Structure 1
């Protein structure tokens, strides 16, 4: 089983269902202590006991499969709690045990997941449209929601989607399990310079789809950026074609206002979660003046992280790349700390 399989559980469940197989989904909804898998981790089980994914790294999968087969028989979901002993935890690479709570849902049946709902979820994921799968643990009511706030449940969904973290929230006296299905993270690096040579593969390892933009063909050669997606275009046009949304980080590295400024302006007009720009404080002061002259407000300009990167004393291109990725990660995982 590959990591891709782990990330594609809804797609696998739908494919199995369309083959006429009975299908159940198991999802980690809560954890305590050193749980083997995070909240939101999933396992799909077929009626003939085939499984893909993981909810515990191996310690309780057998028991979950048995419960899933029973759920397929009676059409009723289950909330299961497992304590992972120290011995079992050690067997899957943990230093100590923990406890997990697992939701098992059959596809179909009186209280199971409706096939059209699963189809809508898979289609949203395919279209890179952010959506949350929401289930009332009291009565098994389910729906898909976007990040629009305004109601108590909508506020909870929006918070979960911004944090990119599944979990159970008490909303108006009802326990709701909310699973964000955000599109893949993306990073656009403007400037095929030496820092970008280090940052692009690092960001790829961290889970980003990376695109490097530079109209100067000699900079963005395959020899300098092996295997990377390169766009030999002007940054503003490239960003417009690429699309900017709350799952995108933009980093400008050229030092050249003719290249950086159009990208910065495009990013400031969007909902990217991170915008970082290389340059000293003096360089950034000149950048701010240009943006003010172009009509950008103080609040908009304050979204820029400059000088780019976390303050870790980085000197070399690789160290600067590490500092940039650290700052990007902080802004992603701690949305309350965003400007």
Structure 2
């Protein structure tokens, strides 16, 4: 790998931007393709598929053989609320190789004893986000506290950063009130339409663990749908979601 390509890949990795190094195995020529340049590349369709899988490897195209070195940012799940659902959600998300962080300023809930082996920030969301890498399109956010003072700022930040998934716990009535607050705060209907609320796929979930499963299923479905189908920003999956009564 040429030093300039290595430096460019490192820069993209640091900025949490995906990129693919294309190497012609026949003559050794290389080109670095950034995500924003894929549509203009001769191997556009193959490159999009590889970004979806995140896997490097050899592909055959145009009668030639290419090795694709695929670099994608690790998918992050920011869980706002150190609640029972979060306790069930974190180990499941870790098993899916998601980079999980729990954020909650309520120190009685945000304790290492309740969340072992999890990055835990006992801070308000705005303060926590200032210390983390910037929110981006490889970040999912689940707001689970039911407390507008905590959830609303987190949802606003995630929507403005165009996180690929933004979900919020609550019944349809509480979600309607949430939308009113966010609109009063300056967000438009097109922005708030991206919120998955009530959060999670409709699997009839009742227990915290079942709700956690429904949330993770929706996160994965949104991630794969957005990456492979190239859906327009803000479009949501056509699926039912479970309600949680007030």
* TM-score bracket, shorter-length normalisation: 0.7 to 0.9
Aligned partner of 1:141 among 29, 46, 66:
29
Matches within 5 A, 1:118-137: 118=6, 120-122=8-10, 124-125=12-13, 128-136=16-24
SS at match of 2:203: coil
Aligned partner of 1:232 among 122, 135, 151:
122
Question: What is the alpha-carbon distance in structure 1 between the residues aligned to residue 183 and residue 47 of structure 2?
Answer: 32
Matches within 5 A, 1:149-168: 149=37, 151-153=39-41, 156=45, 159-160=48-49, 163-166=52-55, 168=59
Shift of the 237–157 alpha-carbon distance from structure 1 to 2, 3 Å rule, reads farther
SS at match of 2:213: helix
Question: What is the alpha-carbon distance in structure 1 between the residues aligned to residue 71 and residue 38 of structure 2?
Answer: 20
Compute the displacement of 1:124 (Å). 4.1
Compute the displacement of 1:245 (Å). 1.1
Matches within 5 A, 1:68-147: 113-114=1-2, 116-118=4-6, 120-122=8-10, 124-125=12-13, 128-136=16-24, 139-147=27-35
Residue by residue, what CA displacement relative to the aligned partner does 1:293-330 show, whole Å, maximum 9, x if unpaired?
Answer: 22212221111111111111110000100111111111
Question: What is the alpha-carbon distance in structure 2 between the residues aligned to residue 290 and residue 125 of structure 1?
Answer: 36
Question: What is the alpha-carbon distance in structure 2 between the residues aligned to residue 297 and residue 175 of structure 1?
Answer: 48
Aligned partner of 1:319 among 200, 203, 210:
210
Question: What is the alpha-carbon distance in structure 2 between the residues aligned to residue 280 and residue 334 of structure 1?
Answer: 25
Q: Out of 149-158 and 177-186, give the one that drifted further.
A: 149-158
Match of 1:219 in 2: 109
Residue by residue, what CA displacement relative to the aligned partner does 1:216-265 show, whole Å, maximum 9, x if unpaired?
Answer: 10101111111211111111221233220111110000001110000000
Greater RCO between the two (CA within 8 Å, min separation 6)? 2
Residue by residue, what CA displacement relative to the aligned partner does 1:177-229 show, whole Å, maximum 9, x if unpaired?
Answer: 54431121111100000000011111111111111000010101111111211
Aligned partner of 1:266 among 151, 157, 160:
157
**CA contact 1:185–1:209 (8 Å) conserved in 2:** yes
Question: What is the alpha-carbon distance in structure 1 between the residues aligned to residue 122 and residue 213 of structure 2?
Answer: 25
Unpaired runs of at least 5, structure 1 = 1-112
Question: What is the alpha-carbon distance in structure 2 between the residues aligned to residue 157 and residue 303 of structure 1?
Answer: 28
Mark the structure with the bigger radius of gyration.
1
SS at match of 2:126: helix
Count of residue correspondences = 226
**CA contact 1:165–1:179 (8 Å) conserved in 2:** no
Question: What is the alpha-carbon distance in structure 2 between the residues aligned to residue 162 and residue 294 of structure 1?
Answer: 36
Shift of the 161–300 alpha-carbon distance from structure 1 to 2, 3 Å rule, reads farther
Unpaired runs of at least 5, structure 2 = 237-246
Question: What is the alpha-carbon distance in structure 2 between the residues aligned to residue 264 and residue 287 of structure 1?
Answer: 10
Match of 1:181 in 2: 71
Match of 1:275 in 2: 166
**CA contact 2:102–2:118 (8 Å) conserved in 1:** yes
